Amino acid sequence: GQNIDQPTEMTATEGAIVQINCTYQTSGFNGLFWYQQHAGEAPTFLSYNVLDGLEEKGRFSSFLSRSKGYSYLLLKELQMKDSASYLCAVRDQDYQLIWGAGTKLIIKP
Amino acid sequence: NAGVTQTPKFRVLKTGQSMTLLCAQDMNHEYMYWYRQDPGMGLRLIYYSASEGTTDKGEVPNGYNVSRLKKQNFLLGLESAAPSQTSVYFCASTSGLAGSDTQYFGPGTRLTVL
């Protein structure tokens, strides 16, 4: 079966750095997405990786290792507004998105 | 440009009742999706549509039906609601499946079945 694993919850301090990991086992691979979802709202797109390596976008970076089936999302200079759930999703061989359960990130002052 | 909209935002049903959820997008996207999101679980695909007039089953289609008569609209029907269908339903759309083509989500419909 297809599976995506993420930690359920993480806590970090305002101004700090946090890394959210995602491991996956899917039927084929056609890219990995990270989405942000604030409580009670819709998911919104953060980043996309299809080749190994680091993609940087402002305070957010995403890393991919296809051989290890592993990705992480790195958030720098954390702000209170970064408190949200972060969803990892893999596009499989049929070009469908397989979703992880999400990581709830709590930011403390 | 409203993006993806969903109607209604909230609904309470009794077991056995039926209802239709409406999704509309104004981005001229080909692909549309219906997901459900439950606590502790990832988004699960109910049905999707690759073009006007076509639909396909996703991971959890039982108890639901869909129609896409117009390119901009994707309807999700619950034939006879059950408490197990209590969930948050999200509609999404995308222009394609290549590269970083991302899915855009509607605000969600929170459905409770008593």
Query: What would the pLDDT profile of B53-109 be if each residue is shown by its tens digit?
Result: 999 999 999 999 999 999 999 999 999 999 999 999 999 999 988 888 899 999 999
Q: Reduced to 3 states, what is the DSSP secondary structure of residue B15?
A: coil
Q: Is B42 within 8 Å of A4 when comparing Cβ atoms?
A: yes
Q: Is B105 within 8 Å of A44 when comparing Cβ atoms?
A: yes
Q: Which residues of A touch B102 (CB under 8 A)?
A: 33, 45, 48
Query: What would the pLDDT profile of A83-107 be if each residue is shown by its tens digit?
Result: 999 999 999 999 999 999 999 999 9
* CB-based contacts of A55, cutoff 8 Å, min separation 6: A47, A48, A49, A61, A62, A63, A64
Q: Which residues of B touch A42 (CB under 8 A)?
A: 90, 105-108
Q: Is B41 within 8 Å of A101 when comparing Cβ atoms?
A: yes
